[in-house]
Amino acid sequence: FANMCTLNQLRLERGLNTLVLRPHCGEAGSIQHLVAGFLLSENISHGLLLRKAPVLQFLYYLAQ
């Protein structure tokens, strides 16, 4: 994430478009993957596990 922020800053200074982080998370694994995706990315590609975490689902809804 830090490298992507640095790269985006460099691209912005040169007048280029920036990159967006959209991880593939939420299909399997723990809920912490979705929490990290919420904190560090623009959006996620999936999110089937959001149904198991209503509070996190509401945060994604508010941030859309």
| Neighbouring C-beta atoms of residue 45, cutoff 10 Å | 12
The residue assigned the tokens 């509070």 is 55
Q: Which of 8, 35, 46, 57 is catalytic?
A: 46
- Distance spanning both ends of the chain, measured CA to CA: 20
Cα 59 to Cα 17: distance, rounded to the nearest angstrom: 28
Catalytic residue list contains 33: no
Residues tagged active-site: 46
